[in-house]
């Protein structure tokens, strides 16, 4: 089931997001924000892609806490400490496995972004950085995942009063360019 097309109710809503969404090229594990999102699997200890870098910088205590937390189903998220990371917190988000797009993948991906933002608000986190959730081992097509991410984050920011700042972070400039294109389609100024 596809995610419904998101459109801002007014241009003022899009203008109100200026400065609240940012796109960066770099290493997510090195960002000095309040929280970073770890794209992970249900066991929270999958060990692939961005997750490896996060655990390497955070140190062994992050793995210990993940094991204590246990599992997390796709579409949900869990909060742990950041330990040795520049970020104080890690939000572990479990995205879907891509199976062609007809099995609710977009809804599950949107849910993991929404749950991550809900945890950020509950924890009074001021800035959170996301990787491209589910695009690595999950196999989600990058451009489609970026559209779901931007729609979901923008809709959440418009609907909630918490003054959260969101960073989309990718290791390659070509990928951050895709986020910039999607944001421009929604008339969101960086």
- pLDDT tens-digit series, residues 60-76: 999 999 999 999 999 99
How many structural domains does the chain have?
Answer: 1
What's the whole-number mean pLDDT along residues 71-85?
Answer: 97
In a domain, 147, yes or no: yes
Answer yes or no: is pLDDT of 31 > 90.
yes
Provide the pLDDT for residue 119. Answer: 97
Tell me which DSSP letter residue 5 carries. Answer: P
Q: Note the pLDDT tens digit of each residue in 104-113.
A: 999 999 999 9
Residue span of the structural domain in which 66 resides: 11-185
102 neighbors 127 (Cβ within 8 angstroms): no
CATH for 22: 3.40.220.10
Distances (CA, A) of 171 to 39, 118, 127, 178: 14, 25, 19, 12
In angstroms, the CA 52 to CA 180 distance is 26
156 neighbors 113 (Cβ within 8 angstroms): yes
In angstroms, the CA 47 to CA 173 distance is 24
In a domain, 1, yes or no: no
């Amino acid at each position: 089931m596809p995610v419904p097309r998101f459109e801002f109710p007014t241009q003022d809503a899009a203008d109100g997001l200026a400065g609240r969404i940012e796109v960066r090229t770099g290493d997510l594990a090195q960002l000095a924000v309040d929280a970073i999102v770890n794209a992970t699997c249900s066991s929270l200890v999958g060990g692939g892609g961005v997750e490896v870098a996060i655990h390497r910088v955070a140190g062994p205590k992050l793995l210990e806490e993940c094991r204590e937390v246990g599992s997390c189903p796709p579409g949900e998220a869990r909060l742990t400490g950041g330990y040795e990371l520049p970020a104080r917190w890690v939000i572990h988000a479990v995205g879907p496995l891509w199976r062609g797009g007809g099995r609710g993948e977009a809804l599950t991906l949107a849910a993991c972004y929404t749950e991550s933002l809900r945890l950020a608000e509950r924890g009074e986190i001021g800035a959170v950085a996301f990787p491209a959730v589910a695009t690595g081992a999950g196999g989600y097509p990058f451009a489609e995942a970026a559209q779901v991410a931007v729609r979901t984050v923008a809709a959440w920011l418009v609907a909630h009063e918490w003054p959260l700042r969101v960073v989309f972070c990718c290791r390659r400039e070509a990928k951050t360019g895709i986020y910039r294109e999607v944001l421009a389609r929604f008339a969101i100024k960086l």
